[in-house]
Amino acid sequence: MQITIVVGASSGIGRATAVRAAQGGAGVVVTYNSNAEGARETVRLVEEVGGTAVALPLDVGDSATFGAFRAAVVEAVAATWGERQVTGLVNNAGFGGGTPFAQLSEELLDRTYRVLFKGPYLLTQTLLPLIADGGAIVNTASSSAGTAGLSEGYSAYGSMKGAVVVLSRYLAKELSGRGIRVNSVSPGPTRTRLGGDAFEKYPEVIPPLVERTALGRLGEPDDVGAVIAFLLSDAARWVTAQDIEVSGGFNL
């Protein structure tokens, strides 16, 4: 049976990915940090499309908890689906940028590193024994790691997301012997809760972003979730070591 762990699935892209994976027939392990209610809603939406999901707490910024999380995954997967392994892992947890370089504190830089790069790196390492041969890993990066249309305030965020893209290529190489595919997706501006619900609080930022987007609108979580679900599926069985920008032609 296909079982996917979606890290950071209490809202936004993670939630959309969980629902899409369930529509494709996968069981889903949903993780959340502070938004337990959002995780329960994701589980409800998965069940609404005929799937099965369980929600587990996880702080991606605290690697000391990863061993206990792996044990919880083992227990949940066995109890819910009678399985011992998972077939997919989506590293999606994170938080937004927006702090100018000159004002970025060492504390915030360290947190950005822990959540956006160190966390996914060590969590994947911790969960690797649970991922079945022939499985798939998808890491959420960002178009902010690109070379065009850079926005001030994203030096730390974009740098860590760039590291995620490079990590994904190396993992694709190192895990190829087990048939595990590894790819990343780089969303453009997408209507999520990142940045403290910035798009809800500051709707005036949306029109300038839409003007810079070839397809003429802001991205929605399902635009990205659909691509992640594809990369997890057998339809993408010959795709690995790729970064796919999912931006509607942002800065094209």
Distance separating alpha carbons of residues 19 and 217, to the nearest angstrom: 23
CA distance 125 to 80: 24
pTM of the model: 0.96
The predicted pLDDT at position 91 comes to 98
Catalytic choice (32, 113, 157, 202): 157
Q: What pLDDT score does 200 carry?
A: 76
The answer to whether the beta carbons of residues 126 and 67 sit under 8 Å apart is yes
Whether pLDDT at 86 is above 70: yes
**Which of 16-20, 44-48, 51-55, 150-154 shows the lowest per-residue confidence on average (mean pLDDT)?**
150-154
pLDDT at 197: 66
Q: Is 157 a residue of the active site?
A: yes
pLDDT at 174: 98
pLDDT in tens, 88-99: 999 998 887 889
- Which domains does the chain possess? 3-246 (3.40.50.720)
pLDDT tens digits along 111-137: 999 999 999 999 999 999 999 999 999
Residue 33 pLDDT grade (very low, low, confident, very high; cuts 50, 70, 90): very high
pLDDT for residue 199: 76
